[in-house]
Structure 1
């Protein structure tokens, strides 16, 4: 007995998302051992840069909460980013026990931190405006499902 799979648009989209998820998992494993800062370190740098760009500050605890990792993991990761010259720490004037994490070199190109995002942005420029919006909504819904799993 042969199981036939439907080739309707919904199945095609779901299969494409599954291929993407598998590719992301493979990339995360490679980044753990082979190519520079970990996925968490890249995500932390994006957060730090985004906050700095809005004129807001971010603490190590907020980074840990945002990435859903332990503060101990964040401490080690931030120490490595600091040693690499990517971030600095400044005292929180309202609470001397806490510190803010700031980008050390504001000339750092965010695309250099994550070249995959830069390439995806290039591809997105080719999408028709109405398609880009629908695709973004679809992917946001997929992300919500993934984020909600095992919580």
Structure 2
């Protein structure tokens, strides 16, 4: 049986999961790109900033999806004018995914992530480590569910 003092953390995670489910439903209908497309775009921007543009295979591996699923996401992002494809100079058979406008800030693509990072900035290093370990354990449990 969990310690009574730890139940608020479990309740907070449940509230978070419900809020994320509501957000996912809203984003499917009225709020722009899906969460997966936003995650792909964040990854594309981060890789571009690192000077190592991503390939569709890289993006699929990062998202834990099949490359075929990512292809549809990338075509929608390209149709929205957010990305383009360029020939991979290291492998002529593949392409790299690059942002069209590198002035685009990751935080503009997903303002929620910017707000979460702002909240995290208010934590001490020790608090951040504790929260990260807890959330990593929750993420692992979610990933193991129904497998």
TM-score > 0.5, shorter chain as reference? yes
RMSD: 1.9
Partner of residue 63 from structure 2, selected from 67, 81, 86: 67
Partner of residue 89 from structure 2, selected from 88, 93, 101: 93
Q: Are residues 1:121 and 2:117 paired?
A: yes
Could you report, residue by residue, the CA deviation over 1:12-39 in whole angstroms, capped at 9, with x for unpaired residues? 1111111101111111111111100111
Partner of residue 140 from structure 2, selected from 132, 137, 144: 144
State the shift of 1:127 in Å. Answer: 2.2
Could you report, residue by residue, the CA deviation over 1:34-80 in whole angstroms, capped at 9, with x for unpaired residues? 10011111000111112122222311122123223333332221112
Q: Could you state the TM-score of these two structures normalised by the residue count of structure 1?
A: 0.87
Distance 1:149 1:34 in 2: 29
Distance 2:38 2:106 in 1: 10
Q: Are residues 1:104 and 2:100 paired?
A: yes
What 5-or-longer segments of structure 1 have no aligned partner?
1-5
| Structure 2 counterparts to residues 39-78 of structure 1, below 5 A | 39-78=35-74
Instruction: Name the residue aligned to 2:4.
Output: 8
What 5-or-longer segments of structure 2 have no aligned partner?
none
Could you report, residue by residue, the CA deviation over 1:104-148 in whole angstroms, capped at 9, with x for unpaired residues? 211101111111111112222222332122112211121122122
> How many residue pairs end up in the alignment?
147
Larger Rg: 1
